[in-house]
Amino acid sequence: MTTPPDLRYATSHEWVKLDGDVATVGVTKFAVEQLTEPTFLELKKVGLTVKPGDEVGIIESVKSTSSIYAPVAGEVIAVNADAVNDLAKVNDDPFGGGWMLKIKLAPGASLDHLLTATQYDAQIAGH
Amino acid sequence: MANLRTPLYDWHAAHKGRMVPFAGWDMPVQYAGIIEEHKAVRTGAGLFDVSHMARLSFDGPDTLPLLEEVFTNSVAGMKEGQVRYGLICREDGGILDDVLVYKWPYGYAMVVNAGNREKIVAWLTERAAGKQVKLIDQTFDTCLIAVQGPKAVELVSGLFADDVSKLKYYYATPTRYRNAGCMVSRTGYTGEDGFEVGLPNALAVPFWEELIAKGAVPCGLGARDTLRLEAAMPLYGHELNEQTDPISAGLGWAVKLDKGEFVGRQALKELPDTRPVRVGLELDGKRAAREGSEVFVDGSALGAVTSGSFVPHLQKSIAMAYLPKKYAAVGTPVLIDLRGTKVDAKVVPLPFYRRKS
């Protein structure tokens, strides 16, 4: 599988990379493949306060529309305009240039509720 | 119960076909990608495994009366080799399926949607009671492969014992491929020129690979869906179902009310003028409408989307929906509710895409 071992994952297919108290969030390669090539991406605005499960964006393909959910609690401090404007970044490099949001963790918030790469691989293997 | 598999299943699985359940079959939804496959059909040639489509044949002296009874289009006037599109309706005009009828030298055949095979076989069997006609389900005896696109004619040139480039649109011919009997039909579901080819199961992979070697691109159900949407061809289960009728669906051209009695004729003749009709919609922006998205006119939800997508060739967000007749005029402004956001759209002429002939 192509699941980076150093990230954490939501069951709804977002990945999280923690750097200090800032979580970078995107959607997994598996999710992008299931969706098929993205045709539209819309992300919420910087400044929004979110808790896990809040909708922070919409991603569409020719086949379907899916919500993107906040995997952690905090404040949106950046959105990736490059990905919105060039969906090939999401399609070709979902764990890198296709990142979507940066969320500054709320005090006391953690990634403990998220899946490890091994657990996420097990989830998608059962798909 | 395990899903059915076409003779090309192993090929699909071995060539990055992403297999999904569809109408009781395991079918490829895509290989390289829906957008790329879609564009290949609009500019070159695409290859589709449509072996899941049900193929029925009829034998016996009462075949013609049976077909005239169940089919909305006329059968009696068909020429040898001719193919006709039409509907099978209930007494109340509700659509049981949309099908193709073939007139062969030796009798008639029918191509039915995969998901309706059992329902239509049961319906025809019931209607055939007391008549001298035998219905044979040949779905599993052969494969069916569609070659679609502006280069389709060039690609199949020389493959068959007969010159199929001379076939007229909606005509078919028996011929031979690698010394085996097959049939070639100038039909399709993409809005492009092309052929649908019925072959012995053992020749499915050789034929498929020969066309790929000539430059045809394997395409999955995903591209088939976006292609037929651009061409505004209705899809059973979406634009068509037992609650819709052919006239409201814009298929009145395939209903011959003056051909004599057929199931549904009376209801279709007396159809109330209040029934919503199928329209084409074009949305502002790139967001796609999906099946079930509500369509608002003058502040009221008056209809719903049956199919919608941001389509690869036209590069537009388009949809089909049913709307009351008074709002079906081209240019009528509407709003479509996309998960709580109302997006501007307008009624546009169908089809969205028409190939240059």
Model pLDDT for residues B112-141, shown as the tens digit of each residue: 999 999 999 999 999 999 999 999 999 999
Confidence label for A127 from pLDDT (cuts 50, 70 and 90) = low
Confidence label for A2 from pLDDT (cuts 50, 70 and 90) = confident
Q: Do A36 and B33 touch (CB under 8 A)?
A: yes
The token duo for A25 is: 């969030």
- Asked whether residue A91 carries a pLDDT value surpassing 60, the answer given is yes
B226 near A CB under 8 A: yes
- Asked whether residue B9 carries a pLDDT value surpassing 70, the answer given is yes
Mean pLDDT for all residues in chain B: 97
A60 near B CB under 8 A: yes
**Domain segments of chain B: what residues?**
9-53+140-230, 55-137, 276-348
> What are residue B338's DSSP bridge partners?
B341
The token duo for B146 is: 């569609």
CB B229 within 8 A of CB B306: no
- Asked whether residue A45 carries a pLDDT value surpassing 90, the answer given is yes
Tell me the nearest-neighbour CA distance from A13 into chain B, angstroms.
Answer: 19
- Reported as a single tens digit per residue, the pLDDT across B53-107 is 999 999 999 999 999 999 999 999 999 999 999 999 999 999 999 999 999 999 9
Mean pLDDT of the region B182-211? 98
Q: Do A62 and B222 touch (CB under 8 A)?
A: yes
Compare CB distances from A63 to B222, B286, B338 and report the shortest one's residue: B222
Class of the domain covering A8-107: mainly beta
**Domain segments of chain A: what residues?**
8-107
CATH of B9-53+140-230, one of 3.40.50.920, 3.90.1210.10, 3.30.70.120, 3.30.1360.120: 3.30.1360.120
Q: Residue A61: list chain B partners with CB under 8 A.
A: 34
Q: CA nearest B226 in A: which residue?
A: A62
Which pLDDT score is estimated for B305? 98
- Mutant choice from B286, B307, B343 vs A, greatest count of A C-beta within 10 A: B286
Q: At residue B352, what is the residue type?
A: F
Q: Residue B287: list chain A partners with CB under 8 A.
A: 40, 42, 58, 60, 65
Q: At residue B342, what is the residue type?
A: K
- Asked whether residue B356 carries a pLDDT value surpassing 90, the answer given is no
Q: Do B287 and A40 touch (CB under 8 A)?
A: yes
- Asked whether residue B357 carries a pLDDT value surpassing 90, the answer given is no
CATH of B55-137, one of 3.30.1490.190, 2.60.40.10, 3.30.70.1400, 3.40.309.10: 3.30.70.1400
> What are residue B196's DSSP bridge partners?
B146, B185
Q: At residue A64, what is the residue type?
A: S
Which CATH number is B276-348 given?
A: 2.40.30.110
Which pLDDT score is estimated for B68? 98
> What are residue A15's DSSP bridge partners?
A9, A26
